[in-house]
Amino acid sequence: MTAIETYDDRVVRLFLFASAVWGIIGMLVGMYLAAELAWPFWNLDVPFLAFSKLRPDHTFGVIFAFGGSALIGTCFYVVQRTGHTRLALPRLAEFTFWGWQLICVLAMVTMPLGMTQSKEYAEPEWFVDILIAVVWVSFGAVFFATLARRRIRHIYVANWYYSAFIIAVGLLHIINNIAIPVSMTKSYPIYSGAVDAMVQWWYGHNAVAFFLTAGFLGMMYYFVPRQAQQPLWSYRFSIVNFWALISTYMWAGSHHLMYTALPDWVQSVGMAFSLVLLMPSLGSAANGLFTFNGSWHRLKEDPAAKFMVLALVFYAAATFEGSLMAVKTVNSLSHYTDWTIAHVHSGSLGWVAMITIGSLYAMAPRALGRPAMYSRKGMELHFWLHLTGTLFYVIAMWTAGVIEGTMWRATNPDGALTHSFLDSLIAIKPLYMVRWFGGVLIWLGMWVMAWNLWYTAADARKPIISPIPVPIPDPEPRQTPAPLPVQG
């Protein structure tokens, strides 16, 4: 009997469901925080429910728990398919899954209790940071070991993005979190003053670059051509965009620190690189959208494709807006206002969440041994809930941001401020309520996805699904290097 090698999708399935669960939890916290901002009594005078204590749970929950689980899961799925090989080091892959879940639980329990470094998007204390480093190295080992045993010579472009995501996030995490522990629950960073701020925003900006952009572009470059059923519009262009993106993003972090104690020339470098960044960002968005050329009819019948196309539109819009906001004159109006919140959420809800949801809907049936998702109507409902919620959210926050910016800079002829801070808060209060409503719609959509995935996974839960065979070409005579042995 001829041995058959099959794809190892067990860990992929675990990450798929973890992602759905963390999506609900992370967005629930976000929705609750939005309610607290509109109606402050919702903090209920409970210390760990205060906005400041709970906010890191929202950001960690949606970025690292929801987004991270989706990224690692799709990465393990894609690297097998684009290399025609089975996942290497399956035990380490399993360790990566349980380790990542432990990290998410630990971080989200300790942060509201006050165990925090107070570094945005890097709040967890030293003991969680060490765990993150260990699990991240394990993730990288599984990915690169699988890549090393691929049967296709060239490394598919999605894997280049996933590689950059793994290497850069590991580097950023370790450098930004170098600290001296002074007790089991408290540490102090080795950096101080303006250097601390620069290191923090070199990390913070590149977390956006390599976690929320490069990682999800990896997802996009695989799942968009697959769902469009069209070859990638320009493979060559994707290579140029890759190198341009990773080499410019690294230098743009200082645009988060305009008009601060940072040297002026460092701020200008951040602004200049942010403008250059427009080209690779729009290049990738165009490559994804043009891939749908000739396949636009799929949008009528396939909600997963709809999620992907809207994700690319939001990606183009949010990156254009980001470059614009990095211009010093625009930044003087937008910074510290809710415009920043609108920008972040048009990127995270529009681009990141939509490409993730589209990719999960595309991947789930295959990984769960079904011909299609359980309910197309459920997918359709989710699409409209998510899109409407996102539009409510970002339009409300754009409006609030411009109101705040213009009110804060208005002065009387004698130079005194025209409006007090409280005036601006009262002016935007109705928009905070609209933001909360948008959040509710998005959160309900996540429940619809979880319900749909649960029923799609009926066979996988029993478990009665058959593993998918790896397509292995017949060896050529005297093939060099020798073909890889088949792994059961």
CB 219 within 8 A of CB 71: yes
158 vs 342, beta carbon nearer another protein:
158
Minimum CB distance to another protein, residue 345 (Å) = 28
Residue 483 CB, nearest distance to another protein (Å)? Answer: 18
CA gap 267, 261 in Å, rounded:
10
Alpha helices (runs of H) in 277-415, residue ranges in sequence order: 278-291, 298-301, 303-325, 328-334, 338-345, 354-367, 376-409
Q: Sort residue 399 into left (φ over 0), alpha (ψ -120 to 50) or beta.
A: alpha
CB of 32 to another protein, least distance (A): 32
- Residues of span 329-368 touching another protein by CB under 8 A: 362-363, 365-366
Instruction: Report the candidate in 363, 20, 346, 75 with the shortest Cα–Cα distance to residue 216.
Output: 75
| SS3 assignment, position 85 | coil
**Measured distance CA(182)–CA(203) in Å, rounded:** 23
Nearer to another protein among residue 135 and residue 157 (C-beta): 157
Among the residues of 39-190, which ranges form H helices?
A: 51-60, 68-81, 90-110, 126-148, 157-176
DSSP result, 293-331 = TT-TTHHHH-HHHHHHHHHHHHHHHHHHHHHHHTSHHHH
For another protein, the binding residue among 193, 413, 415, 471 (CB under 8 A) is 471
Per-residue binder mask for another protein (CB under 8 A), 280-319, x = binder: ------------------x--xx-x---------------
Judge contact between 215 and 161, C-beta under 8 A.
yes
Question: Residue 261 carries which DSSP code?
Answer: S
Find the binder of another protein among 124, 204, 215, 225 (CB under 8 A): 225
Mark the segment that binds another protein (CB under 8 A) among 56-64, 243-251, 310-318, 384-392: 243-251
459 binds another protein per the rule CB under 8 A? no
15 binds another protein (CB under 8 A): no
The one among 91, 236, 462, 478 contacting another protein by CB under 8 A: 236
By CB under 8 A, residue 86 contacts another protein: no
Residue 372 touching another protein (CB under 8 A): yes
Q: Which is nearer to another protein, 226 or 256 (CB)?
A: 226
Closest CA to 387 of 485, 291, 313, 301: 313
Site mask for another protein (CB under 8 A), range 117-156, x = bound = -----------------------------------xxx-x
The residues of the shown chain that bind another protein, judged by CB under 8 A, are 81-82, 152-154, 156-158, 222-223, 225-227, 229-232, 234-237, 239-240, 243-244, 247, 298, 301-302, 304, 362-363, 365-366, 371-377, 379, 455, 471
